[in-house]
Structure 1
Amino acid sequence: MTSHQSAQTMKPATAAKKLGVYLEATPTEFQEGVVSRTELAALQSDPPQWLQDLRSTGPHPRPVVAAKLGISISGLARGGVTDALTTEQIDALKQDDPEWLRKERATQAEVRKETVRIKERNAERSGKAQEPRS
C-alpha cells in the first residue's frame, strides 16, 4: 500500500497573517483560493508586486500597525484604532503624536522593561539552582 500525501494548504486569512498583510487588500484570486505551503514559501521568497506594494504602503493589519507605532494591539483599541491603516496614516499619527499614543508607548516601554527584569531574575535563579551545594 502506498501513501499519498496531499499538499498542505491553508485558508487565505492564515496565509495573509503569515505574510503580514491585510486580507481585504489582497487580490480577489488570493482571497478566494487556498494557499499551499509551497506557494506561501514562494510568496515569501519572491513576493509579487501586489505583495510588495501592500507591505510598503498598506493598508496594514492591526498587528503591523501596532508594531509600527511601538504599541500593543490592545493599545490600538484603547486609542480607538479598529481598522487597518496605510503607511501614510501611520506616519500622520506619529507626526500628530496624540496623547493616547504617547501614553501607550510609555506603557509598552514599561512592559518591555518588566519583561527584561523578569527574564534576568529567572536566569539568575536558574543559575543559582545549578550551583553545587556544599
Structure 2
Amino acid sequence: MTSHQTTQTMKPATAAKKLGVYLEATPAEFQEGVVSRAELNALQNDPPQWLQDLRRNGPHPRPVVAAKLGVSIAGLARGGVTEALTTEQIDALKTENPEWLQKERATQAEVRKEAVRIKAKHEQDAARAAERQSDPRA
C-alpha cells in the first residue's frame, strides 16, 4: 500500500503574510495562483528581485509597519494609520515623531517592561515550587 503525498499549498495571502510582504504589492502571478510549501521555501531562501524590493522599500503590511515604528498594530490604528506604508513614509513618520507615535512607543515600552516582570515572577514561582518539591521537610 503506497501513500499518496499531496503537495501542501496555501493561498497567496497566507504566503505573503509568511514572507512579510503586502499582498496587493506582489506581482499578479503571485496573487492569482497558489503557493506550495516548496515554492515558499524557495522564495524565502533565494528571494527574487521583486521580493527583495518589496522587503526593502514596501509598501509594508501593518505588522511590519508597527514593528518598524516600535508600536502595536492597535497603536497604528489609534494613530490613524490604516494603510500599508512604504519605507520612505515610515522614515518620514519617525522623523516627524508625532505625538501619537511618542505615546504609542511609550505604551509599547511599558507593555514590554510588564511582560519581562511577569516572566521573571513566573520563573521565580516555578523555582520556589521546584525547591519545595525537592525539599523532604516540606
Which residue in 2 is equivalent to 1:108? 108
Match of 2:77 in 1: 77
CA–CA distance in structure 2, aligned partners of residues 42 and 19 of structure 1: 11
CA distance in 2, matches of 1:15, 1:64: 15
Distance in 2 separating the partners of 1:37 and 1:116: 35
Map Cα deviations across residues 65-107 of structure 1 (whole Å, 9 max, x no partner).
0000000000000000000000000000000000000000000
Write out the 4+ residue segments of structure 1 that deviate beyond 4 Å after TM superposition: none
Specify the alignment match of 1:54 in structure 2. Answer: 54
Normalised to the residue count of structure 2, the TM-score between the two structures is 0.96
Task: Show the 5 A alignment for 1:82-101.
Answer: 82-101=82-101
Matched, 1:29 2:29: yes
**Cα RMSD after superposing both structures:** 0.6
Quote how far apart the aligned CAs of 1:2 are: 2.0
Q: Deviations over 1:84-131 (max 9, x none)?
A: 000000000000000000000000000000000000000000000000
Residue 4 (structure 1) shift: 1.1
- State the Cα distance separating 1:5 from its structure 2 match: 1.0
Q: Partner of 2:40: helix, strand, or coil?
A: helix
Structure 2 portions without partners, runs of 5+: none
TM-score by length of 1: 0.99
What residue is the counterpart of 2:38 in the other structure? 38
| Structure 2 residue identity aligned to 1:130 | A
Please give the alpha-carbon distance, in whole angstroms, between the structure 2 residues aligned to 1:72 and 1:33. Answer: 31
1:2 aligned counterpart, secondary structure: coil
| Cα distance in structure 2, aligned partners of 1:6 and 1:128 | 49
Which segments of 5 or more consecutive residues in structure 1 lack a partner in the other structure? none
Q: Distance in 2 between matches of 1:81 and 1:119?
A: 31
Determine whether 1:129 maps to 2:129.
Answer: yes
Which structure: larger Rg?
A: 2
> Paired residues, what number?
134
